[in-house]
Structure 1
Amino acid sequence: MTQTGDGYGKKRILVVDDAAIILSRIWDALRNDYEVTMVNSGIRALKYLEQENTDLILLDIRMPLKDGIQTLREIRAMKDRKDIPVIMLTGVEDSHSVLESAKLGICDYILKPFHEDDLRNRIQRALEQDGRV
C-alpha cells in the first residue's frame, strides 16, 4: 500500500529531466527505495502535479519549452504543491541559476554527473528536513 506522507509505503519522487540516459540512471538508483515517476519535460511535470502529489521533486534546469526555473516558479504557485521539497539535479552551475533556484526555495542543488550514493543521501536528508520521513 503506497500512501504519501503518512508513514506507509514508499515515498514518492517525481523526476523531471529531458535526457533519457539521466532518467535511466536515476530510475536504477532509486527504484528499490522510492516510488519513482519520471517525466521528460516541465510541462509534463506540471500536468502530473495537477492530478497527483509527490514527496520530493528532482528537477533539471535545461529543458526545451519550459526550463526547470520556469517549472519551479509554476510549482511554487500551485496551491497544494508549493511546499514540495525540490532538488535541482542539473549540469548548470552558473551563479544566476543557483541564485534563482535558491530564491524559489530549493532544498539542494546537485551537479551532473552525480554519484548514486550521494543522490540517495541528499534525497533522504531533504525528506527528513521536510518531516516527510
Structure 2
Amino acid sequence: MRLMPRQMSLAVVGADHLNKSGPARRFEIALCIPGEPVDLVPEPKNPADPNAVAVVTERGVKIGYIGADRAPLIGTYLSRARISGVIFQGAAKWGAVIRVGLDGEMPVLPEIKPTEPPPDDTGFWPDYIPPDD
C-alpha cells in the first residue's frame, strides 16, 4: 500500500499570461514572501481546462494555475476538504511553487540545505591594494 504524502510542493504555471485586471502575475509573484498564505480556487467553467485550479494571493491577485498534471488531484482534494493550508514557497522560472498541507497537516516550507560555493579555479589572483594612510 502506497501512502500519499501529507505535504507536497506544486508548480504554479501561466505566470506570463495577463490577468483581466490588476497587477501582472510576475509582478505579484515578486511581491510574495515564502510562507505567505495563498488560496486555491477551482475554475470548472475555464474554457481551456475544466479541472483548472487558480492560485490567488491574499491580495486577491491570480499568480497562475496548478499544473494540468496535478489539477484534477488537487480539485478532488479541494472538493473533499482534504487541503489544510496552502503557502507560497518561492518563485521559479516557469512561475512559482506553492506548498500544500493535506489531511489536517499545515504546510511547512522545506528546509534549504546550504551549499558550498564552487571553488575558484579561474587562476585569477587580485592585485594587493595597500590600505589608505
TM-score tier (shorter): under 0.3
Instruction: Return the structure number with greater strand share.
Output: 2
Structure whose alpha-carbon radius of gyration is higher: 2
Identify the structure with bigger relative contact order (alpha carbons < 8 Å, sequence gap 6+): 2
TM-score, normalization: structure 1? 0.23
TM-score by length of 2: 0.23
